Amino acid sequence: MSDTAHKTDGFQPRIVAFFCNWCTYTAADLAGTARMTYAPNVRVVRVMCSGRLDPQFIMEAFRNGADGVLIGGCHPGDCHYQAGNYKALRRYILLKRVMKEMGIEEGRFRLEWIAASEGDKVQRVINEMTETIRKLGPLHLEPVNIPATAHVQVGTDKAAVAARGGVS
């Protein structure tokens, strides 16, 4: 049992996980049935297949305050729908490149193949990811709309960063 599952103080990352119904969601259920305690930081959104995942969902999760996003799908060759996970992989690789260019650290966005029987992998991946993001710190995306006081925000770059809601 790692400390991660028990840690209650300090920064608690919030991670949105998109799990496919047939493999990873089932594996997460299995982890539950087996009472494998893990970090409470992941919140699972169930989709039928990782192929359903539109990069907009991932970005929306970040936009809504997620510090990390985890995608869980069936292992290559195991997709319940034959090939949805390959589509997920293609989108993930492209999206990851774009995310990186957009300055979002790699550790915040992860895809894992987790089979229905791999409850222990759910535990391990979630603990690992929580730990990684704990080290990276919170993700503060700049608010989209201009704050009412924006027109007086002149001065140093630091102030500009603060205006983006950088430090809270």
Task: Show the binding pattern over residues 92-131: x = contacts another protein (CB under 8 A), - = does not.
Answer: -xxx-xx--xxxxx---------xxxx----x--------
Binding residue (CB under 8 A) for another protein from 13, 28, 109, 114: 28
In angstroms, what is the minimal distance from the CB of 57 to another protein? 6
Binding residue (CB under 8 A) for another protein from 11, 13, 24, 59: 59
In angstroms, the Cα distances linking 148 to 64, 87, 145, 152, 153 are 20, 42, 9, 9, 10
Binding residue (CB under 8 A) for another protein from 13, 22, 24, 109: 22
Assess contact for 11 and 140: CB atoms under 8 A.
no
Is residue 137 left, alpha or beta, with left meaning phi > 0 and alpha meaning psi from -120 to 50?
left
Q: Does 66 bind another protein (CB under 8 A)?
A: yes
Q: Does 149 bind another protein (CB under 8 A)?
A: no
CA distance 116 to 136: 30
